[in-house]
Every structure is written in structure tokens, then in C-alpha cells.
Amino acid sequence: MRYKTVLAVSALFAVMLAAAVLGPSSDMSDAAAQKWATSNCNGMNVQYVDGNTYIVIELDSDPGLGMYDVIIGGKPFAVSGSSGKRVGVELGEPLDKTVNYMVIATPNGATYTCTLSYLQFYDVAATAEPSSGGSVSGHGEYRSGEQATLTASPADGYVFDGWYSGETKVSAVSSYTFTVSADVSYSARFVSDTATITFDSNGGSPVASITQSVGTAVTAPADPVREGYTFVGWEPAFPATMPAGGMNLVAEWSVKTYTITFDTLGGSEVAKMTQEYGTAVTAPSDPTKEGFTFVKWDQEVPKTVPADDMIISAIWAVNATVDESGKAEVVLDKNTGAFILPEETKTVTVTMDDNVSVAIQDTSALGTGTTVIAKVEEIPNTAEVDGTARAYEVTVTKADDQPITGKMQVTLPYAPEKGKVPAVYWQNGSALEKMRVISHTSDSVTFETTHNSTYVVVAESASEDSGATFMLYLGLLMVVGIALSMLIGFNYYRRKA
């Protein structure tokens, strides 16, 4: 009787002491969960706070009033069933953190087991961004080495974009499973179920953005263009389907190379230049040509490489010849585009091709030794005139591109048409001004002008002015005929007399 009383008192004391130290069962569970944890429990659970000399055992069923053994890490302890399903066991010393303890209870001949281990626990935090975009689950406290699974569920109007740690995307799968080894915090990002792809053409032509439902097929836009560059592609690559959250694509370019070729038209060779677009260009030395003077290039040598190949041709000048009366003449071929006025020149006629010439009526304002560039070039006709028209650009300038002023007689090719007469129009912008025709042959027409411009040559029906001119000529012929008749008659009668 005394033995049972001692056991009962001891058991009661142990329970009271454990309760005082551990507190209510819920508090004991929370505290124990921080460091010590149970596993593989069968019929009971074990709670222990690190550093204490007491352990709490909670059986799943009532053990009855008899005594039973509790074995902790191989060491037996006698426990009275009168304490109920929950009992505190005095250990005498704290448990060793390095040992995994097998706890065995044997009430009523049954055997219950549970493993108690000192483990590292970590917090796994999860949030939804934005909070209205959806919900998350699976966050909480996990043992080191344990598998955790976070699950993201989007709300209406949103789609899941991914799990992020800071700004780093760790998973694109809504159920993210990983091994816990430290405190971690992840955010589930939700985005609108429609998204936009924007394009930065990086100096090229603009590309319109694309907005459509996430996950639907996306059609790539036409490639942008950029002067002097070849489009390489988009960075990052254009997606096959609309990504959640959209994206911004930046155009990548490779610079092109172009060639500037110098045609010296029979002069000394000038090496061509092949360089990248936009790089600096150094003008070459002037070419030379025996018997000619280099005037300049027909196009200015660019300071930087343009976005196209170029052919630049030399302009050569030849000395004009002048007679005693001050009338100079010069013939320019396809390789010679200019001439130099000799001394005492009063007028000069420049012949450039069959039925193509320019006669400067007064050269006194030009001065001896002046270099004159003369060019007549047929160009596409844009003037609205009746009949078959041909347009010509007439340019007569000094070497510095200053136009020659004063009267000039220009001869241009003309294709005659039956019943029509030649006409020349000055194309002044969209307006046409009729020029005075001085003379014409079967295949040329000569007119007078005072300026460089575009001139249109056409065969047109005879106007009233042309009819009046014809009648004037006819009248003159009749007068001449009458005068001749009278003269003949007068001589006849004089001889007869």
C-alpha cells in the first residue's frame, strides 16, 4: 500500500511539475515545434522543450489504473496509469540534441512508439502580388530537408505568372515544390489575363505593340528598317504565344558597309572606299589627266559613309578655242563636262551631242579663264502636254555652281510630227511657260532663255500665231512675186522700145 502511494504521489508531482514548466498542451506543442519534433508515432505523441528535464507523453487511449513502463532512448521509467492519457516523465537531465530518441510506452500490454528528434525548422512564407490577383497556400514551418509545396490560385481576370524570390523568377509552375534548407519568402505574381508585347526598334522604324489574351498564338510583326543597318532580330526572342505580363522586345542591328567608287573618266586612278555606314570619309587627292584640268567631282564627297553605294565622277575642263571675232567654240563629250574661256571671248557655243548645244550670247561678265560647267540631260517628262514630249534639264554654271545669267540659245532634239510644229515649255514647278522658238530643223529646235531649268520639247498643232506667221510669209512671197513680175515686164518693154 505504501509503495503504491509513493508511486502515485511521485507521478502526481511529475505531472504537476511538467504542467508548471510546459504550460497548457497547446503551448507545449508550439514551443516543442521550434526545435524538437516527433515522427513515426504509433498510439501516442511526445512533447519536449529543449533544455528541460521533463517530457510529456500523451496516449491516444486511456491506459487504465495500472503501472506501465515508458522507455526513452533505452532507459525505462515507471508511470502510473492513474495520471490518465497525458503524463509528465521526470528525466533527471535534458535530452541530448545529437540523439534520436525512440520513446516506447507499454500500457495494458500494448506497445506504442514514437521517435523524438532535435531538428532544425525553417519558416516558408508566401504572399500574393497583387493581393487581389489570387491566393496562395502551403506556407508555414518546415523541417530542414523536408519537401514544401506552395500552390498559387489566380482570381478571375488574372493568370499566374510565376513564383519569385525578390525579382528572380524561381518557378513558372503554380505548384512549386522544393526542399527546405533555410527561411525563405516567395511571392506568387498574378497578372491580367491579357498582356501586351511592346517593341523598342532601337533607332529603326516604329513597330506597333500587340495586345491579346495570355497564351494565345502571336504573329510576328514586319521587321523594322533602319538606314545603314540590317535587322538581326529581337532581344529577347519573339515568343510563339503571348506571355503572362507581356514583354518588351528590343531590336538588334548590324551595321552595313557601302562602297564609294570614283570614276575619273580617263584620268588617273582613284581607289574606291568600302567602309561601314556613318564612318568618317577622307576625300581622295584630285586625279590628273593629260590635256585637261580637273574641276571637281560631280557630287560632293560625303563626310561620312552614306546608306547606299555611290559612284562619283570627275568633271574635266578643256580649253575653248576662239577666233579673231571673239567667237569661241567648244565640244564636250561624255568624259568632259566643262570648258575654260580663253581671252577675248565674246560669245561661246558649247556642243554636247547631236542636236544639243548651248550658245552664251555675251561672256563679258564671266571673265577670262572662267571655268564653265555645261550639262544637258534628258529626264522623265512629268509635264501634262499634248503629244509626245521629251524633257531636258539644262544646267550652265560656274565651277562654284553659281548659275550663268544672260541670254542663251539652247538647241534640243525634236521629233517632228506631220501637221504639227515644235514648241518648247519652261517647266516652272507645276506651271508651264511657253518659250520663244528661234528656229527649228527636221530634228532640232532652238529657243532663247536666260536661266537654267527643265524644258519640255513637244510637237503640237499650229496655233493662231503660227497661222498668222504663215499668212505673213505668204503675203511677203506674193509681194516679192508681184515685184519680180513688174521688173520682168519693165525690162521686156524697154528692150522692145
One-letter amino acid for residue 196 of the chain: T
DSSP state of 133: G
87 and 128 share one domain: no
pLDDT at residue number 67: 81
Same domain, 348 and 249: no
Q: Quick one: cell of 138?
A: 502551403
Q: Name the DSSP letter for residue 494.
A: H
Q: Which residue has the cell 577622307?
A: 282
Whole-model pTM: value is 0.57
Residues paired with 434 in a beta bridge: 425
* Domain co-membership, 72 together with 166: no
For residue 440, give the CATH number of its domain: 2.60.220
Do residues 289 and 374 share a domain?
no
Q: How far apart are CA 335 and CA 346, in angstroms?
A: 26
* Domain match, 58 and 88 both: yes
Residue 66 is predicted with a pLDDT of: 77
The Cα 89–Cα 395 span in angstroms is 118
Q: Note whether 331 and 402 are same-domain residues.
A: yes
Residue 409 CA to chain centroid, in angstroms?
Answer: 54
Residues 325 and 456 in one domain: yes
Distance CA 387, CA 392 (A): 16
SS3 content of the chain, % helix, strand, coil (to 5): 15, 45, 40
Identify the pLDDT of residue 464. Answer: 43
- Both 112 and 16 in one domain: the answer is yes
Q: Domain end: 93, 118, 143, which one?
A: 118
Query: Cell digits for 61?
Result: 487511449
Task: Identify the pLDDT of residue 491.
Answer: 62
80, 100, 118 — which closes off a domain?
A: 118
How far out from the chain centre does Cα 218 lie?
A: 18
Rounded Cα–Cα distance for residues 208 and 196 (Å): 11
Q: Copy the grid coordinates of residue 357.
A: 548645244
Residues 390, 446 share a domain? yes
Answer whether 426's CB lies under 8 Å from 410's CB: no
Long-range contacts of 464-473 (CB under 8 A, 24+ apart): 466/421
Task: Indicate whether 178 and 218 sit together in one domain.
Answer: no
Range of the domain at 491: 466-497
pLDDT tens string for the chain (497 positions)?
333 333 333 443 343 333 333 333 333 333 335 678 899 999 999 999 888 999 999 999 888 777 888 999 999 998 876 778 888 899 999 999 889 999 999 888 889 999 999 888 999 999 999 999 999 999 999 988 899 999 999 999 999 999 999 999 999 999 999 999 999 999 999 999 999 999 999 999 999 999 999 999 999 999 999 999 999 999 999 999 999 889 999 999 999 999 999 999 999 999 999 999 999 999 999 999 999 999 999 999 999 999 999 999 999 999 999 999 999 999 999 999 999 999 889 999 999 999 999 999 999 888 889 999 999 999 999 998 888 899 999 999 999 999 998 899 999 999 888 889 999 999 988 899 999 999 999 999 999 999 999 999 999 887 544 444 545 445 566 766 776 766 666 565 555 55
Domains identified in the chain, total number:
6
CATH of residue 106: 2.60.40
3-class secondary-structure state, position 109: helix
Residue that is written with C-alpha cell 526545435 in the block: 35
Distances (CA, A) of 486 to 30, 383, 473, 492, 495: 149, 52, 20, 10, 14
Distance (Å) of CA 397 to CA 25, 353, 449: 110, 18, 14
Out of 118, 145, 176, a domain closes at 118
CATH of residue 283's domain is 2.60.40.4270
| Residues 251 and 263 both lie in one domain | no
Sheet of strand 168-171: strand arrangement? 140-143, 121-129, 184-192, 158-165, 168-171
Please tell me whether residues 373 and 405 are part of one structural domain. yes
